[in-house]
Amino acid sequence: MAGGALGLLFAFWSAQALTGFLTGRALDVSPDARVLGFTAAVSILTGLLFGAMPAIQATRPDLTPALKNDAAAGAQGRPMGLGNLLVAGQVALSLLLLIGAGLFIRTLGNLKNLDAGFHADRVLLVSLNPGLSRYTPERTRNFYGQLLERVSALPGVRSASVADAPLLGGRYVEGLSAEGHQPGAADADDVSIREVTPRFFETMGIALRMGRDFSPLDRSGAPKVAIVNETIARRYFDGRNPIGKHVGLGAAPDMEIIGVAADTKYNGLRAPVPNTLYVPIDQFPPGPARTLHVRTSAEPARLAAAVREQVRAIDPNLPVKMRPFSELVDANLVQERLIATLSGFFGGLALLLASIGLYGVMAYNVERRTREIGIRMSLGAGRRDVLWMVLRNCLAMVAAGVAIGVPATVWLSRLIARQLFGIAPGDPATIAAAAVTMTLVGALAGYLPARRAANVDPMVALRYE
Protein backbone atom coordinates (compact mmCIF):
# COMPACT_ATOMS: atom_id res chain seq x y z
CA MET A 1 0.00 0.00 0.00
CA ALA A 2 2.85 2.37 0.81
CA GLY A 3 4.47 1.60 -2.54
CA GLY A 4 1.16 2.13 -4.31
CA ALA A 5 0.72 5.54 -2.69
CA LEU A 6 4.22 6.61 -3.72
CA GLY A 7 3.62 5.25 -7.22
CA LEU A 8 0.40 7.26 -7.49
CA LEU A 9 2.19 10.49 -6.58
CA PHE A 10 4.97 9.66 -9.01
CA ALA A 11 2.44 8.93 -11.78
CA PHE A 12 0.81 12.34 -11.49
CA TRP A 13 4.13 14.13 -11.27
CA SER A 14 5.71 12.31 -14.21
CA ALA A 15 2.63 12.77 -16.42
CA GLN A 16 2.69 16.53 -15.87
CA ALA A 17 6.44 16.72 -16.39
CA LEU A 18 6.41 14.72 -19.61
CA THR A 19 3.45 16.45 -21.22
CA GLY A 20 4.78 19.87 -20.29
CA PHE A 21 8.20 19.07 -21.70
CA LEU A 22 7.04 17.41 -24.90
CA THR A 23 3.88 19.04 -26.07
CA GLY A 24 3.23 22.11 -23.97
CA ARG A 25 0.35 20.28 -22.20
CA ALA A 26 -1.49 19.75 -25.47
CA LEU A 27 -1.56 16.02 -24.71
CA ASP A 28 -3.45 14.95 -21.58
CA VAL A 29 -2.07 11.69 -20.16
CA SER A 30 -3.03 12.30 -16.54
CA PRO A 31 -4.18 9.08 -14.81
CA ASP A 32 -7.98 8.73 -14.74
CA ALA A 33 -10.27 6.38 -12.83
CA ARG A 34 -9.96 3.53 -15.33
CA VAL A 35 -6.19 3.74 -15.48
CA LEU A 36 -5.89 3.91 -11.70
CA GLY A 37 -8.35 1.03 -11.23
CA PHE A 38 -6.48 -1.18 -13.69
CA THR A 39 -3.05 -0.45 -12.24
CA ALA A 40 -4.34 -0.87 -8.68
CA ALA A 41 -5.79 -4.28 -9.55
CA VAL A 42 -2.55 -5.39 -11.24
CA SER A 43 -0.49 -4.13 -8.29
CA ILE A 44 -2.64 -5.93 -5.72
CA LEU A 45 -2.59 -9.18 -7.70
CA THR A 46 1.18 -8.91 -8.10
CA GLY A 47 1.63 -8.31 -4.39
CA LEU A 48 -0.60 -11.25 -3.49
CA LEU A 49 1.09 -13.57 -5.96
CA PHE A 50 4.67 -12.81 -5.04
CA GLY A 51 3.83 -12.43 -1.37
CA ALA A 52 2.06 -15.79 -1.27
CA MET A 53 5.01 -17.72 -2.69
CA PRO A 54 7.36 -17.11 0.29
CA ALA A 55 4.41 -17.67 2.62
CA ILE A 56 3.75 -21.08 1.05
CA GLN A 57 7.43 -21.92 1.37
CA ALA A 58 7.31 -20.96 5.05
CA THR A 59 4.55 -23.52 5.66
CA ARG A 60 6.85 -26.31 4.45
CA PRO A 61 10.07 -25.79 6.40
CA ASP A 62 12.94 -28.25 6.62
CA LEU A 63 12.67 -29.06 10.33
CA THR A 64 16.25 -30.19 10.86
CA PRO A 65 17.94 -26.86 9.97
CA ALA A 66 15.11 -24.99 11.68
CA LEU A 67 15.59 -26.88 14.99
CA LYS A 68 19.33 -26.25 14.72
CA ASN A 69 18.62 -22.51 14.20
CA ASP A 70 20.63 -22.72 10.99
CA ALA A 71 19.18 -19.93 8.83
CA ALA A 72 21.96 -20.19 6.30
CA ALA A 73 21.39 -23.80 5.44
CA GLY A 74 18.54 -23.07 3.08
CA ALA A 75 20.62 -20.50 1.23
CA GLN A 76 23.39 -22.92 0.35
CA GLY A 77 23.40 -25.27 -2.57
CA ARG A 78 21.05 -23.07 -4.63
CA PRO A 79 23.21 -20.49 -6.44
CA MET A 80 20.32 -19.50 -8.73
CA GLY A 81 17.17 -19.75 -6.60
CA LEU A 82 13.77 -18.36 -7.44
CA GLY A 83 14.60 -14.87 -6.16
CA ASN A 84 17.78 -14.78 -8.19
CA LEU A 85 15.93 -15.98 -11.29
CA LEU A 86 13.35 -13.24 -10.88
CA VAL A 87 16.08 -10.61 -10.61
CA ALA A 88 17.82 -12.05 -13.68
CA GLY A 89 14.52 -11.73 -15.56
CA GLN A 90 14.21 -8.15 -14.35
CA VAL A 91 17.71 -7.43 -15.66
CA ALA A 92 16.75 -8.94 -19.03
CA LEU A 93 13.62 -6.78 -19.32
CA SER A 94 15.56 -3.69 -18.21
CA LEU A 95 18.19 -4.41 -20.85
CA LEU A 96 15.44 -4.72 -23.45
CA LEU A 97 14.12 -1.26 -22.54
CA LEU A 98 17.63 0.20 -22.43
CA ILE A 99 18.49 -1.05 -25.90
CA GLY A 100 15.14 0.19 -27.24
CA ALA A 101 15.79 3.60 -25.70
CA GLY A 102 19.25 3.67 -27.26
CA LEU A 103 17.87 2.84 -30.71
CA PHE A 104 15.18 5.54 -30.55
CA ILE A 105 17.56 8.16 -29.15
CA ARG A 106 20.07 7.45 -31.91
CA THR A 107 17.25 7.62 -34.47
CA LEU A 108 16.35 11.09 -33.21
CA GLY A 109 20.01 12.11 -33.36
CA ASN A 110 20.37 10.80 -36.91
CA LEU A 111 17.35 12.80 -38.05
CA LYS A 112 18.58 15.96 -36.30
CA ASN A 113 22.02 15.64 -37.89
CA LEU A 114 20.62 14.70 -41.29
CA ASP A 115 21.80 16.82 -44.21
CA ALA A 116 18.39 17.89 -45.49
CA GLY A 117 19.88 20.09 -48.20
CA PHE A 118 18.95 23.39 -46.53
CA HIS A 119 19.99 25.38 -43.46
CA ALA A 120 17.12 25.70 -41.00
CA ASP A 121 18.84 28.00 -38.50
CA ARG A 122 18.17 31.75 -38.44
CA VAL A 123 15.30 31.72 -40.91
CA LEU A 124 12.07 33.49 -40.00
CA LEU A 125 8.84 32.38 -41.69
CA VAL A 126 6.14 35.02 -42.14
CA SER A 127 2.83 33.57 -43.34
CA LEU A 128 0.46 36.01 -45.03
CA ASN A 129 -2.82 35.79 -46.93
CA PRO A 130 -3.87 39.08 -48.56
CA GLY A 131 -6.83 37.20 -50.01
CA LEU A 132 -8.50 37.64 -46.63
CA SER A 133 -8.63 41.36 -47.42
CA ARG A 134 -9.98 40.73 -50.95
CA TYR A 135 -6.76 41.63 -52.74
CA THR A 136 -6.79 41.41 -56.54
CA PRO A 137 -3.98 39.43 -58.22
CA GLU A 138 -2.24 42.66 -59.27
CA ARG A 139 -2.52 44.15 -55.81
CA THR A 140 -1.24 40.89 -54.30
CA ARG A 141 1.83 41.01 -56.53
CA ASN A 142 2.50 44.65 -55.60
CA PHE A 143 2.06 43.89 -51.89
CA TYR A 144 4.70 41.16 -51.86
CA GLY A 145 7.04 43.26 -53.99
CA GLN A 146 6.86 46.17 -51.53
CA LEU A 147 7.22 43.84 -48.55
CA LEU A 148 10.35 42.22 -49.99
CA GLU A 149 11.97 45.62 -50.56
CA ARG A 150 11.15 46.84 -47.05
CA VAL A 151 12.23 43.66 -45.24
CA SER A 152 15.43 43.25 -47.28
CA ALA A 153 16.48 46.76 -46.20
CA LEU A 154 16.13 46.00 -42.47
CA PRO A 155 19.35 45.84 -40.43
CA GLY A 156 20.24 42.24 -39.64
CA VAL A 157 18.52 40.78 -42.70
CA ARG A 158 20.89 38.84 -44.93
CA SER A 159 18.36 37.87 -47.60
CA ALA A 160 14.62 37.51 -48.10
CA SER A 161 12.39 35.65 -50.52
CA VAL A 162 8.77 34.64 -50.97
CA ALA A 163 7.48 31.13 -51.68
CA ASP A 164 4.07 29.58 -51.95
CA ALA A 165 4.81 27.46 -48.84
CA PRO A 166 7.80 26.49 -46.67
CA LEU A 167 9.83 23.38 -47.28
CA LEU A 168 8.82 20.17 -45.45
CA GLY A 169 5.31 20.59 -46.77
CA GLY A 170 3.86 21.12 -50.21
CA ARG A 171 1.93 19.71 -53.11
CA TYR A 172 2.64 17.09 -55.74
CA VAL A 173 1.42 16.92 -59.32
CA GLU A 174 1.58 14.17 -61.89
CA GLY A 175 2.88 14.18 -65.42
CA LEU A 176 6.47 15.43 -65.40
CA SER A 177 7.89 15.40 -68.91
CA ALA A 178 11.44 16.11 -70.03
CA GLU A 179 12.98 16.89 -73.40
CA GLY A 180 14.66 13.86 -74.93
CA HIS A 181 13.43 11.47 -72.24
CA GLN A 182 11.28 8.49 -73.06
CA PRO A 183 9.06 7.70 -70.06
CA GLY A 184 9.31 4.18 -68.69
CA ALA A 185 7.60 2.06 -66.08
CA ALA A 186 10.38 2.75 -63.58
CA ASP A 187 10.02 6.53 -63.79
CA ALA A 188 8.69 8.40 -60.80
CA ASP A 189 6.59 10.96 -62.67
CA ASP A 190 5.17 12.68 -59.58
CA VAL A 191 6.88 16.01 -59.04
CA SER A 192 6.83 18.46 -56.16
CA ILE A 193 6.50 22.10 -57.14
CA ARG A 194 7.77 25.13 -55.26
CA GLU A 195 6.89 28.60 -56.53
CA VAL A 196 9.57 31.06 -55.39
CA THR A 197 10.98 34.53 -55.97
CA PRO A 198 14.65 35.29 -56.64
CA ARG A 199 17.14 34.63 -53.80
CA PHE A 200 15.07 31.77 -52.38
CA PHE A 201 18.04 29.40 -52.64
CA GLU A 202 20.32 31.90 -50.94
CA THR A 203 17.79 32.48 -48.17
CA MET A 204 17.30 28.76 -47.48
CA GLY A 205 20.96 27.84 -47.91
CA ILE A 206 20.28 25.54 -50.88
CA ALA A 207 23.29 25.14 -53.14
CA LEU A 208 22.96 25.76 -56.87
CA ARG A 209 25.03 23.05 -58.51
CA MET A 210 25.00 24.70 -61.96
CA GLY A 211 23.22 27.44 -63.84
CA ARG A 212 21.71 30.61 -62.40
CA ASP A 213 19.05 31.74 -59.97
CA PHE A 214 15.78 33.36 -60.97
CA SER A 215 15.84 37.08 -61.73
CA PRO A 216 13.21 39.86 -61.75
CA LEU A 217 13.06 39.38 -65.54
CA ASP A 218 11.52 35.91 -65.05
CA ARG A 219 8.02 37.31 -64.72
CA SER A 220 4.63 36.86 -66.30
CA GLY A 221 4.83 37.12 -70.10
CA ALA A 222 8.51 36.18 -70.25
CA PRO A 223 9.66 32.74 -71.51
CA LYS A 224 8.92 30.11 -68.90
CA VAL A 225 11.93 28.89 -66.94
CA ALA A 226 12.52 26.38 -64.17
CA ILE A 227 15.20 25.10 -61.83
CA VAL A 228 15.30 21.34 -61.23
CA ASN A 229 16.85 19.42 -58.39
CA GLU A 230 19.62 16.86 -58.78
CA THR A 231 17.15 13.98 -58.69
CA ILE A 232 15.40 15.18 -61.85
CA ALA A 233 18.74 15.84 -63.55
CA ARG A 234 19.90 12.33 -62.72
CA ARG A 235 16.68 10.46 -63.59
CA TYR A 236 15.66 12.30 -66.72
CA PHE A 237 18.92 13.40 -68.31
CA ASP A 238 21.21 10.43 -67.56
CA GLY A 239 24.15 12.54 -66.42
CA ARG A 240 23.92 14.96 -69.35
CA ASN A 241 23.97 18.70 -68.71
CA PRO A 242 20.29 19.69 -68.37
CA ILE A 243 20.88 23.45 -68.73
CA GLY A 244 18.99 24.67 -71.77
CA LYS A 245 16.82 21.59 -71.95
CA HIS A 246 13.07 21.77 -71.30
CA VAL A 247 10.70 20.19 -68.80
CA GLY A 248 6.99 20.53 -68.35
CA LEU A 249 3.91 19.47 -66.47
CA GLY A 250 2.08 17.40 -69.02
CA ALA A 251 2.94 16.21 -72.48
CA ALA A 252 4.72 19.36 -73.69
CA PRO A 253 8.00 20.42 -72.03
CA ASP A 254 7.55 24.19 -72.11
CA MET A 255 9.91 25.42 -69.36
CA GLU A 256 13.61 25.96 -70.03
CA ILE A 257 15.94 24.66 -67.34
CA ILE A 258 18.20 27.48 -66.17
CA GLY A 259 19.72 25.81 -63.10
CA VAL A 260 20.17 22.66 -61.02
CA ALA A 261 19.67 22.92 -57.24
CA ALA A 262 20.92 20.53 -54.60
CA ASP A 263 18.52 17.83 -53.42
CA THR A 264 16.50 18.77 -50.36
CA LYS A 265 13.93 17.05 -48.22
CA TYR A 266 10.50 18.18 -49.28
CA ASN A 267 7.64 16.58 -47.38
CA GLY A 268 9.38 15.22 -44.29
CA LEU A 269 12.86 14.34 -43.06
CA ARG A 270 12.20 10.60 -43.35
CA ALA A 271 10.77 10.73 -46.86
CA PRO A 272 13.10 10.20 -49.84
CA VAL A 273 14.00 13.18 -51.99
CA PRO A 274 11.32 13.55 -54.70
CA ASN A 275 11.48 15.11 -58.15
CA THR A 276 11.42 18.79 -57.27
CA LEU A 277 10.73 21.64 -59.66
CA TYR A 278 11.25 25.30 -58.74
CA VAL A 279 9.43 27.89 -60.83
CA PRO A 280 9.18 31.71 -60.69
CA ILE A 281 6.20 32.64 -58.60
CA ASP A 282 5.12 35.37 -61.06
CA GLN A 283 4.88 32.91 -63.97
CA PHE A 284 2.20 30.82 -62.26
CA PRO A 285 -1.37 31.83 -61.41
CA PRO A 286 -0.97 33.98 -58.31
CA GLY A 287 -2.14 32.54 -54.99
CA PRO A 288 -2.73 35.06 -52.20
CA ALA A 289 -1.44 32.83 -49.37
CA ARG A 290 2.36 32.90 -49.39
CA THR A 291 5.25 32.69 -46.95
CA LEU A 292 8.01 35.26 -46.62
CA HIS A 293 11.37 33.64 -45.80
CA VAL A 294 13.85 35.92 -44.01
CA ARG A 295 17.42 34.84 -43.23
CA THR A 296 18.86 36.87 -40.38
CA SER A 297 22.33 37.42 -38.99
CA ALA A 298 21.01 37.04 -35.41
CA GLU A 299 18.19 35.11 -33.78
CA PRO A 300 15.01 35.38 -35.90
CA ALA A 301 12.89 36.35 -32.90
CA ARG A 302 14.80 39.63 -32.59
CA LEU A 303 13.59 40.76 -36.04
CA ALA A 304 10.01 39.54 -35.67
CA ALA A 305 8.75 42.90 -34.38
CA ALA A 306 10.53 44.85 -37.13
CA VAL A 307 9.12 42.59 -39.86
CA ARG A 308 5.64 42.90 -38.37
CA GLU A 309 5.94 46.69 -38.49
CA GLN A 310 6.79 46.56 -42.19
CA VAL A 311 3.67 44.49 -42.88
CA ARG A 312 1.53 46.94 -40.90
CA ALA A 313 3.06 49.86 -42.78
CA ILE A 314 1.62 48.39 -46.01
CA ASP A 315 -1.64 46.99 -44.60
CA PRO A 316 -2.35 47.40 -40.86
CA ASN A 317 -5.37 45.06 -41.02
CA LEU A 318 -3.60 42.03 -42.50
CA PRO A 319 -3.08 39.08 -40.06
CA VAL A 320 0.52 37.92 -39.70
CA LYS A 321 1.77 34.57 -38.44
CA MET A 322 5.47 34.19 -37.62
CA ARG A 323 7.69 31.36 -36.47
CA PRO A 324 11.31 30.29 -36.94
CA PHE A 325 11.87 27.66 -39.60
CA SER A 326 13.67 25.58 -36.97
CA GLU A 327 10.30 25.12 -35.23
CA LEU A 328 8.91 23.61 -38.43
CA VAL A 329 11.82 21.18 -38.49
CA ASP A 330 11.25 20.34 -34.82
CA ALA A 331 7.54 19.82 -35.49
CA ASN A 332 8.55 17.29 -38.15
CA LEU A 333 10.30 15.33 -35.36
CA VAL A 334 7.52 15.39 -32.77
CA GLN A 335 6.84 11.67 -32.95
CA GLU A 336 10.52 10.73 -32.85
CA ARG A 337 11.18 13.08 -29.93
CA LEU A 338 8.16 11.74 -28.04
CA ILE A 339 9.22 8.11 -28.51
CA ALA A 340 12.87 8.82 -27.68
CA THR A 341 11.97 10.75 -24.53
CA LEU A 342 9.46 8.19 -23.29
CA SER A 343 11.70 5.22 -24.05
CA GLY A 344 14.66 6.93 -22.39
CA PHE A 345 12.52 7.76 -19.36
CA PHE A 346 11.24 4.21 -18.93
CA GLY A 347 14.64 2.74 -19.74
CA GLY A 348 16.19 4.77 -16.93
CA LEU A 349 13.33 3.79 -14.62
CA ALA A 350 13.83 0.12 -15.47
CA LEU A 351 17.55 0.46 -14.79
CA LEU A 352 16.79 1.95 -11.38
CA LEU A 353 14.32 -0.82 -10.53
CA ALA A 354 16.77 -3.50 -11.62
CA SER A 355 19.50 -2.01 -9.43
CA ILE A 356 17.08 -1.89 -6.47
CA GLY A 357 16.17 -5.54 -7.08
CA LEU A 358 19.81 -6.57 -7.24
CA TYR A 359 20.63 -4.65 -4.10
CA GLY A 360 17.66 -6.13 -2.24
CA VAL A 361 18.49 -9.72 -3.17
CA MET A 362 22.18 -9.33 -2.40
CA ALA A 363 21.51 -7.59 0.92
CA TYR A 364 19.11 -10.39 1.86
CA ASN A 365 21.64 -13.07 0.88
CA VAL A 366 24.37 -11.36 2.91
CA GLU A 367 22.02 -11.19 5.90
CA ARG A 368 21.26 -14.92 5.64
CA ARG A 369 24.89 -15.87 5.19
CA THR A 370 26.33 -13.72 7.97
CA ARG A 371 27.26 -16.75 10.10
CA GLU A 372 28.75 -18.54 7.09
CA ILE A 373 30.82 -15.47 6.27
CA GLY A 374 32.08 -15.34 9.85
CA ILE A 375 33.13 -18.99 9.67
CA ARG A 376 34.95 -18.42 6.36
CA MET A 377 36.81 -15.43 7.76
CA SER A 378 37.70 -17.37 10.93
CA LEU A 379 39.19 -20.10 8.74
CA GLY A 380 41.39 -17.60 6.91
CA ALA A 381 39.26 -16.01 4.19
CA GLY A 382 40.33 -12.43 3.56
CA ARG A 383 38.12 -9.41 3.03
CA ARG A 384 38.80 -9.47 -0.71
CA ASP A 385 37.77 -13.13 -0.86
CA VAL A 386 34.47 -12.36 0.85
CA LEU A 387 33.94 -9.27 -1.30
CA TRP A 388 34.48 -11.26 -4.50
CA MET A 389 32.32 -14.17 -3.27
CA VAL A 390 29.30 -11.90 -2.83
CA LEU A 391 29.99 -9.75 -5.88
CA ARG A 392 30.41 -12.84 -8.05
CA ASN A 393 26.88 -13.95 -7.17
CA CYS A 394 25.55 -10.53 -8.21
CA LEU A 395 27.48 -10.55 -11.47
CA ALA A 396 26.17 -14.05 -12.21
CA MET A 397 22.60 -12.73 -12.02
CA VAL A 398 23.50 -9.79 -14.25
CA ALA A 399 25.24 -12.06 -16.75
CA ALA A 400 22.22 -14.36 -16.85
CA GLY A 401 19.93 -11.39 -17.45
CA VAL A 402 22.17 -10.05 -20.22
CA ALA A 403 22.40 -13.50 -21.81
CA ILE A 404 18.60 -13.65 -21.90
CA GLY A 405 18.01 -10.01 -22.81
CA VAL A 406 20.37 -9.65 -25.78
CA PRO A 407 18.91 -12.44 -27.96
CA ALA A 408 15.38 -11.38 -27.00
CA THR A 409 16.17 -7.80 -27.97
CA VAL A 410 17.69 -8.78 -31.32
CA TRP A 411 14.57 -10.80 -32.12
CA LEU A 412 12.02 -8.24 -30.88
CA SER A 413 13.78 -5.18 -32.32
CA ARG A 414 12.64 -6.23 -35.79
CA LEU A 415 9.16 -5.09 -34.78
CA ILE A 416 10.33 -1.46 -34.53
CA ALA A 417 12.51 -1.45 -37.65
CA ARG A 418 10.16 0.93 -39.47
CA GLN A 419 10.41 3.49 -36.69
CA LEU A 420 14.21 3.59 -36.84
CA PHE A 421 16.28 5.78 -39.15
CA GLY A 422 19.92 5.38 -40.04
CA ILE A 423 20.46 2.49 -37.62
CA ALA A 424 19.87 -1.26 -37.78
CA PRO A 425 17.50 -2.87 -35.23
CA GLY A 426 20.31 -5.10 -33.95
CA ASP A 427 22.97 -2.37 -33.87
CA PRO A 428 26.00 -3.91 -32.08
CA ALA A 429 27.23 -0.61 -30.62
CA THR A 430 23.86 0.17 -29.00
CA ILE A 431 23.50 -3.36 -27.63
CA ALA A 432 27.06 -3.34 -26.28
CA ALA A 433 26.62 0.08 -24.64
CA ALA A 434 23.38 -1.02 -22.97
CA ALA A 435 24.92 -4.30 -21.77
CA VAL A 436 27.96 -2.51 -20.34
CA THR A 437 25.74 0.06 -18.62
CA MET A 438 23.59 -2.70 -17.14
CA THR A 439 26.67 -4.57 -15.93
CA LEU A 440 28.21 -1.48 -14.31
CA VAL A 441 24.98 -0.54 -12.55
CA GLY A 442 24.51 -4.15 -11.42
CA ALA A 443 28.08 -4.30 -10.11
CA LEU A 444 27.53 -1.09 -8.17
CA ALA A 445 24.26 -2.40 -6.71
CA GLY A 446 26.02 -5.59 -5.60
CA TYR A 447 29.14 -3.86 -4.33
CA LEU A 448 27.41 -2.18 -1.39
CA PRO A 449 26.17 -5.44 0.21
CA ALA A 450 29.48 -7.10 -0.70
CA ARG A 451 31.46 -4.40 1.08
CA ARG A 452 29.25 -4.76 4.13
CA ALA A 453 29.87 -8.52 4.10
CA ALA A 454 33.63 -7.98 3.83
CA ASN A 455 33.54 -5.75 6.92
CA VAL A 456 31.79 -8.37 9.08
CA ASP A 457 33.53 -9.00 12.42
CA PRO A 458 34.09 -12.80 12.61
CA MET A 459 33.37 -12.93 16.37
CA VAL A 460 30.10 -11.05 15.95
CA ALA A 461 29.16 -13.23 12.98
CA LEU A 462 29.80 -16.45 14.92
CA ARG A 463 27.41 -15.29 17.64
CA TYR A 464 24.83 -14.25 15.01
CA GLU A 465 21.38 -15.78 15.65
Q: What is the pLDDT of residues 431-449, one digit of tens each?
A: 999 999 999 988 888 888 8
Q: What is the pLDDT of residue 9?
A: 81
Report the C-alpha dihedral over residues 450, 455, 460, 461, rounded to 10 degrees.
Answer: 30
Could you tell me if residue 11 is inside a domain?
A: no
Largest CA distance in the chain: 107
Residues 298 and 376 in one domain: no
Distance CA 361, CA 445 (A): 10
Q: What is the pLDDT of residue 21?
A: 58
- Name the pTM for this structure: 0.75
Residues 308 and 338 in one domain: no
Choose the final residue of a domain: 324, 354, 386: 324
Within 24-61, where are the H helices? Answer: 33-58
Residues 170 and 252 in one domain: yes
Residue 53 pLDDT greater than 90, yes or no:
no
Could you tell me if residue 12 is inside a domain?
A: no
Return the bridge partners of 246, or none. 256
Distance CA 312, CA 389 (A): 78
Could you tell me if residue 33 is inside a domain?
A: no
Residues 279 and 349 in one domain: no
Residues 279 and 304 in one domain: yes
Query: What are the residues whose beta carbons fall under 8 Å from the beta carbon of 151, sequence distance 6 or more?
Result: 157, 160, 292, 294, 307, 310
Distance CA 282, CA 350 (A): 58
Q: Angle formed by the axes of helices 82-112 and 383-412, to 10°? A: 60
Could you tell me if residue 21 is inside a domain?
A: no
Distance CA 306, CA 111 (A): 33
Q: How many helices and strands, by DSSP H and E, does the chain display? A: 14, 12
Minimum mean pLDDT range among 285-289, 299-303, 405-409:
285-289
Residues 349 and 284 in one domain: no
Residue 153 pLDDT grade (very low, low, confident, very high; cuts 50, 70, 90): very high
Residue 184 pLDDT greater than 80, yes or no:
no
Could you tell me if residue 40 is inside a domain?
A: no
Q: Where is pLDDT greater, at 69 or 90?
A: 90
Mean pLDDT over residues 306-312, rounded? 93
Choose the final residue of a domain: 301, 324, 347: 324
Residues 300 and 195 in one domain: yes
Q: Are 266 and 230 in contact (CB under 8 A)?
A: no
The angle subtended at Cα 79 by Cα 77 and Cα 84, nearest 5°, is 135
Distances (CA, A) of 154 to 127, 290, 306, 307: 18, 20, 8, 8
Distance CA 405, CA 99 (A): 9
Minimum mean pLDDT range among 61-70, 120-129, 241-250:
61-70
Q: What is the pLDDT of residue 73?
A: 46
24 Rama sector, left if φ>0, alpha if ψ -120 to 50, beta otherwise: left
Residues 135 and 88 in one domain: no
Q: Are 88 and 400 in contact (CB under 8 A)?
A: yes
Choose the final residue of a domain: 287, 302, 324: 324
Could you tell me if residue 68 is inside a domain?
A: yes
Residue among 231, 236, 257 nearest 246 (CA) = 257
Could you tell me if residue 217 is inside a domain?
A: yes
pLDDT digits (tens, 9 = 90+) for 96-139: 999 999 999 999 988 888 888 888 889 999 999 888 888 888 88
Residues 178 and 229 in one domain: yes
Mean pLDDT over residues 385-408, rounded? 88
Could you tell me if residue 54 is inside a domain?
A: no
Q: What is the pLDDT of residue 370?
A: 75
Distance CA 443, CA 9 (A): 30
Range of the domain at 295: 123-324
Q: What is the pLDDT of residue 167?
A: 84
Q: Give 118's DSSP letter.
A: S
pLDDT digits (tens, 9 = 90+) for 324-373: 998 888 888 888 888 888 888 888 888 888 888 888 888 887 877 777 77
Give the range with max mean pLDDT: 20-34, 57-71, 234-248, 441-455: 234-248
The angle subtended at Cα 82 by Cα 444 and Cα 43, nearest 5°, is 85
Return the bridge partners of 194, or none. 278
Residues 213 and 297 in one domain: yes
Residues 181 and 199 in one domain: yes
Residues 301 and 338 in one domain: no
Q: Are 235 and 187 in contact (CB under 8 A)?
A: yes
Domains of the chain: total: 2
The helix/strand/coil state of 462 is helix
Give the number of other CB atoms < 10 A from CB of residue 392. 12
Q: Give 257's DSSP letter.
A: E
Distance CA 213, CA 202 (A): 9
Distance CA 349, CA 343 (A): 10
